[in-house]
Amino acid sequence: MGTTAEALKRLLVGSPKSSGALEHTLLPKVIALPVFSSDPLSSNAYATQEALLVLAVAGAAGLDLILPISIAVATLLVIVVTSYRQTVRAYPLGGGAYRVAHENLGMYPGLLAASALLIDYILTVAVSITAGVEAITSASEALHEHRIGLAFLFIAFVTLVNLRGVRESGTLFAIPTYGFVLSIYFMIGTGVVRCLGGCPLAESAGRELPVAAALGPLLVLKAFAAGTTALTGVEAIADGVPAFRYPQSKNAATTLTVMAALSISMFLGISWLADHTGVIYTATPLGQRSVVAQVALAVFGSGPLFYVIQTMSAAILILAANTAYQDFPRLSSILAQDRYMPRQFMNRGDRLVFSNGIVILALFAALLIYIFDANLTRLIQLYLVGVFISFTLSQTGMVVRGRRLKPPGWKRTAMISGFGAFVTGAVLIIITYTKFLGGAWVVIAAIPFAIYGMRSVNRHYQEVGRELRRPDRRPADRRPGNQHMVILADGVNVATVRAVGYATSVGSAALEAVTFDPGSADAWRRAIPDIPLHVMRPSGSRTGSLREYLRAKRRELTSNDFLTLVVPEVLKSRSLLELVKNPGLTRLKASLLTEPNVQVMDLPMTEDKGDQASLEIHEPLRNHVCVLVSGVHNATLQAMEFAETLRPTDIRAINFGLDPLASERLGDQWLEHGIPHPLEIDDSPFRDLGSSLTHYVRQFRADGTKRVVTIVIPEFITPKRRHRLLHNQTALTVKGRMLLEEGVVVVSVPYHLHD
Amino acid sequence: MFDRLIRKLTQAPEATRATNLQEWADTIPETIRIKDIAPRCGCRAVGVIQKIRIDPRAGTGSVEVTLDDGTGRLRAKWLGRSKLNGIALGKGLEVEATAGDHAGGELVVLNPSYRLMPGPDGG
């Protein structure tokens, strides 16, 4: 990457952090509260409104019920928080619904909770951003048309802040969260005082309200379901225990209680004021001021304080999306660790955050906002189903855990969790029933697909694991190690000459060349008479005929022998663009990768070097072979044996510690398997394999003629093409970077997995 | 003023890391920095484990650990064994032995006595 691009990235995302700096990103309570509670606290900005919206259908009589319904919602919040305080204590490593359900109820309930949560986190971002944009358009109505653009802008902002990392965003988020809480309290306080001498009326008070439906139990349930929005985000704290400072569980439990106290008082306060100022909020007309805005206007008039409330609401709503930005990536990394999601979600980026999860979350949320036209009422219909599925599963899991482990006092805690599970289960039924047609069906339909996807990813990884450890496919310990090489030549040039030198030094049992260019045959026979040249007449595709040739060759060999296709390549300059310029060759190499028992070896060189070199054949005097390893299994063993057949100066296996847990075990595994070659575990403090390897390789000062470095990459080849995305991402990075290094030869040693 | 800010924001991460390592090493008493080690002195140095090399070949088994303290690198090599309990990337290690010379640019100490400790990041 160019230095300008690099500097720009550092300016935006910040300078990369070394892996060990993780400890410093733990959150103290004062920061953890806003980071994890901006979501539940911010829902106060619209929870009352959603309940009022439902009640308004029944006319003025309906509106009177807002206070009792708010009290019911607050009670529910108390029950859930009490129950979650126990989960947090029982699961200091993060007791998200996924982990609790997976451990206590089994795999499918666990995956159900996981997919419900993932979908809900996406919705949290979509809903919060949309509500934030609405708070802005409530203050300045001209912006209403640009709401989708505004929403995208805010998503981009929050994404960027999160890519910078936890701690920084924590401090940034503290200001609006505390600001919102204080300003709402100030509004409630002022409102109550003013009400002592007769309440001020909202702008919509006394508006004609036609009675469209009778006030029945269904309507009350619907309003209650709408009000339960206030409960979202409790999950976030339970999931995020590992992000707290020590003692983690205790701090998390305290934060939960504080969050609940703040949330309940704000919610009841807003509902009380909305009731007493007579706010009316209906589905039409569009562009009404939000309920909080109306209350603020009634209490403060249109002075600066009204704008303070609107600004704070907009800010906290947009930042509430941040809660999901904390949790979606963390949950997906846990799922990746458990092998239910692609491993890429485990990688920490430059700033130690799970960058891939963050980016995926942002893309999905933006898509949802676009599809639903940034319409809050429609989006909110999808919301909540996932939250309550996870509440119910998590608390049921806690009951089962209590019965199984019987920790002291388990009966009391199981009672609390059981009661909580019962209540949230009932609310789940209510929500599904009242919102199904409104949009909840989308979520309910999406969940099975998500579960199926995670299940098949898991099955695949398990099969690969088994396959890689199968003793009967373990490469024989000491192969005769015959190496057969075929050079793919396009005439006699510096690159082919270098390839001939390399192949000769290996001392292959058989060495020959093939070409598609009949014109160069004579020149070849004059220059390199020792190596037989086979001229191919391409019938059909080049790849096809080359493949046929190699297969015929392969059949003559025993299964212990290696057959390697050597591809000399002249690159015009040291730029990655070069790889794209010769698509035919790149495709050929890619398609041969799937050919069983054939290795492809790349010998690239740049043209500027080529001019000075002569066409004399030099066998390299030193050949340092480095095998990249991530674990000890059949694919690694096979690659080590391939390396031995190259007759190198020395062989070593290297690992860059990108997965600290795996690296710690690697040393012991290496000794257990008795592999007779050194293993080097080198720290890549910024988790950047490409530059660490480049740095490593340059220490050999390879020049391509006297001294070469051979990088051997074990690759898994899966029978199904769609599974390949799940592997070999490192192989691609390495090949891209290494092709441009002077004197470096890159070989892929594919290991074919059976079905 | 902006110059400094921009330099700070875009400073190469390696430089920042070296400074942090050096600050950490300075807090450990009675050790000297790697760049100050004179050949053949009996010295006590400290560094974070940057690289581990296990060589299990029969007869010549060895473990080699490369330490980095922000001022330079030192290779501590134990012969005749292929395992050193408790070592892992990112941990701190204090070694005491007579240093060899700076052959090949890196200082090597053979079979030093050693003490494991938490690294700069508590690892």
CATH number at residue A510: 3.40.50
Check whether A655 has a pLDDT greater than 60.
Answer: yes
Per residue in A613-654, pLDDT (tens digit) is: 567 778 888 999 999 988 888 888 888 889 988 888 899 999
The pLDDT assigned to B20 comes to 79
| A676–B49 CB contact, under 8 Å | no
Touching A: B residues 61-90, CB under 8 Å: 82-83, 88-90
Burial of B18 from C-beta contacts in 10 A (0-12 / 13-18 / 19+): middle
Compare CB distances from A21 to B12, B56, B121 and report the shortest one's residue.
B121
Query: And the tokens for B23?
Result: 């600050």
Q: What is the pLDDT of residue A399?
A: 92
| Residue A181 pLDDT | 93
Fill in the DSSP letter of residue A374: T
CATH number of the domain to which A228 belongs:
1.20.1740.10
pLDDT band at A189 (very low <50, low <70, confident <90, very high): very high
- Give the residue from A403, A406, A426 showing the smallest Cα distance to A72: A426
Q: Which one of A562, A585, A618 terminates a domain? A: A618
The residue ranges of every structural domain in chain B are 2-117
Strand pairing class (B42-55; A744-752): unpaired
Per-residue pLDDT band at A290 (split at 50, 70, 90)? confident
Kindly tell me if the per-residue pLDDT of A266 is higher than 90.
yes
Contact B56 A681 (CB under 8 A): no
How far apart are the C-alpha atoms of A337 and A333, rounded to whole Å?
6
Q: Both A483 and A590 in a single domain?
A: yes
Q: Which of B6, B54, B82 to mutate to test the interface with A (most CBs of A within 10 A)?
A: B54
What confidence tens digit (pLDDT) does each residue in A463-474 have? 888 888 877 766
Q: Give the mean pLDDT of A103-111.
A: 92
Query: Is A6 among the domain residues?
Result: no
Residue at A9 is within a domain = no
**Nearest-CA residue of chain B relative to A682?**
B51
Is the same domain home to A383 and A523?
no
| Last residue of one domain, picked from the residues A591, A618, A645 | A618
Subunit contact B122:A23, Cβ cutoff 8 A: yes
> Which of A409, A431, A464 is the C-terminal boundary of a domain?
A464
Same domain, A584 and A437: no
Are both A663 and A567 inside the same structural domain? Answer: no
On whether both A483 and A407 belong to a single domain, the answer is no
Do residue A207 and residue A138 come from a single domain?
yes
Fold of B2-117: OB fold (Dihydrolipoamide Acetyltransferase, E2P) (2.40.50)
Same domain, A655 and A696: yes
Q: What is the pLDDT of residues A427-472, one digit of tens each?
A: 999 888 888 888 888 889 999 999 999 999 999 888 888 888 877 7
Let me know: does B106 contact B65? Beta carbons within 8 Å.
no
Question: Are residue A107 and residue A172 in the same domain, yes or no?
Answer: yes
Q: Which pairs with CB-CB distance under 8 Å and at least 24 residues apart come from A512-516?
A: A512/A485, A512/A486, A512/A487, A513/A486, A513/A487, A513/A488, A513/A489, A514/A486, A514/A487, A514/A488, A514/A489, A514/A546, A514/A549, A515/A488, A515/A489, A515/A490, A515/A491, A516/A490, A516/A542
Q: Give the model's confidence band at B1: pLDDT under 50 very low, under 70 low, under 90 confident, else very high.
A: very low
Residues A263 and A288 in one domain: yes
Number of domains in chain A: 3
Distances (CA, A) of A198 to A188, A208, A300: 15, 22, 15
Residue-wise DSSP of A279-325: ----S-STTPPPHHHHHHHHHHTTSHHHHHHHHHHHHHHHHHHHHHH
Task: Please report whether residue A1 resides in a domain.
Answer: no
Are B82 and A671 a contacting pair at CB < 8 A?
yes
pLDDT at A110 over 80: yes
Instruction: Answer yes or no: is A288 within a domain.
Output: yes
Q: Are residues A53 and A86 in the same domain?
A: yes
- Considering the domain architecture, whether residues A178 and A311 belong to the same structural domain is answered as yes
- pLDDT value at A611 more than 70: no
Question: Does B23 have pLDDT greater than 70?
Answer: yes
Q: Where are the alpha helices (DSSP H) in A406-535?
A: 410-435, 441-469, 494-506, 521-527
Residue A342 and residue A238 share a domain = yes
Mean pLDDT of chain B: 80
User: Are B54 and A671 within 8 A, CB to CB?
Assistant: yes
Provide the CA A237 distance to its chain's centre, in angstroms.
19
Distance from CA of B7 to the nearest CA of A (A): 10
Domain span including residue A630: 620-755
